Amino acid sequence: GQQVQQSPASLVLQEGENAELQCNFSTSLNSMQWFYQRPGGSLVSLFYNPSGTKHSGRLTSTTVIKERRSSLHISSSQTTDSGTYLCARMDSNYQLIWGSGTKLIIKP
């Protein structure tokens, strides 16, 4: 079954609003990463976050291992934040198992 459930599938916001993206895992969590995928397809690593909270500019990632979930928060969104956000957990072979992505659209 689906090991990584990502929500929402799509999200439309006005510029300046905050975005909250979620990932839930059906199995225990070794580690996880958040990625941004540009419209052209290249993947940019945003966070490698096995547990706890990490910050990077307007982005915050929080992973709670015992609850098997991770979130990505984008504050004061900008139109350039538009794109697809992907989460992935690491399995026992240290390979990434991916969520289906959140398509984020920020309107001016």
Partner 1 sequence: ETAVFQTPNYHVTQVGNEVSFNCKQTLGHDTMYWYKQDSKKLLKIMFSYNNKQLIVNETVPRRFSPQSSDKAHLNLRIKSVEPEDSAVYLCASSPGLGYEQYFGPGTRLTVL
Binding residues vs partner 1 (CB under 8 A): 30-31, 33, 35, 37, 40-45, 48, 84, 86, 88, 90, 93-98, 100-101
Nearer to partner 1, 74 or 86 (CB): 86
Nearer to partner 1, 15 or 82 (CB): 82
CB of 95 to partner 1, least distance (A): 4
Q: Are 70 and 85 in contact (CB under 8 A)?
A: no
CB of 101 to partner 1, least distance (A): 6
CB of 31 to partner 1, least distance (A): 6
